[in-house]
Amino acid sequence: QSALTQPRSVSGSPGQSVTISCTGTSSDVGGYNYVSWYQQHPGKAPKLMIYDVSERPSGVPDRFSGSKSGNTASLTISGLQAEDEADYYCSSYAGTYTHWVFGGGTKLTVL
Amino acid sequence: QITLKESGPTLVKPTQTLTLTCTFSGFSLSTSGVGVGWIRQPPGKALEWLALIYWNDGKRYSPPLQSRLAVTKDTSKNQVVLTMTNMDPVDTATYSCAHLSIGWSFDYWGQGTLVTVSS
């Protein structure tokens, strides 16, 4: 059982927006502004899409955005494209004992 | 350009010790603030953080696995080595190393190496 809770799957049609939630506790998501999101296509390495809750690395389209409220972080993908179909994982720094925790992953299907 | 690549055995027997090497380029583990982490992913399952080593030889381990893990670095060879003792079939996973970015995220990942634990 993963430390952070994500929906197992979400779906949307091309052009639509979807939001993936990531729920933790005050010891991880709620306690630090160090939530990151990773995209993983089958058989590929994870790719960093969002860090520090809402920052995008260079090269990541601005269709991807992140936010946080309390113990829940969210990844929103707007203007869905076929290539966005992938697994998405959230992660959070969790302090000097646990360090890093991941979510269980969410499979995004573009209909 | 930062790249990382994992190497090691693809098959280990139960109770054996796993040793994996991460060879990287594009950064130095002697530079202040730099870290390299290890993350694994069982087939069809979620990511799990295992360990991390910092430029100053500081080490961090996943609490449930701490007693079985050790991470070391060889700065001159641009390598990080992860050892995991007493391997069990449940440890079957793809093991990846990754560069720790500012913001406590992992911005560059290796391709990962699948390790199967079976007799």
Instruction: Select from A99, A102, A106, A107 the residue whose CB has the most chain B CBs within 10 Å, as the one to mutate to test that interface.
Output: A99
Q: Is B107 in contact with A103 (Cβ distance < 8 A)? A: no
Nearest of B65, B90, B116, B81 to residue A100 by alpha carbon: B65
Reported as a single tens digit per residue, the pLDDT across A63-91 is 999 999 999 999 999 999 999 999 999 99
Predicted pLDDT of residue B102: 75
Nearest of A40, A70, A71, A73 to residue A55 by alpha carbon: A73
Q: Is A98 in contact with B63 (Cβ distance < 8 A)? A: yes
Among the partner-chain residues A46, A55, A99, the one whose CB lies closest to the CB of B60 is A99
Q: Average pLDDT in the A41-59 region? A: 95
Give the whole-angstrom CA distance, residue A66 versus residue A50: 7
- Using alpha carbons only, how large is chain A's radius of gyration in Å? 13
The first and second tokens of residue A19, run together, are 């939001």
For residue A96, is pLDDT > 90? no
Instruction: Note down pLDDT in tens along chain B; length 119 residues.
Output: 999 999 999 999 999 999 999 999 999 999 888 999 999 999 999 999 999 999 999 999 999 999 999 999 999 999 999 999 999 999 999 999 999 987 789 999 999 999 999 99
For residue A8, list chain B residues with Cβ-Cβ distance below 8 A.
Answer: none
Phi/psi of residue B68, each to 5°?
-105, -10
Nearest CA-CA distance, residue B104 and chain A, Å = 6
Q: Is B104 in contact with A34 (Cβ distance < 8 A)? A: yes
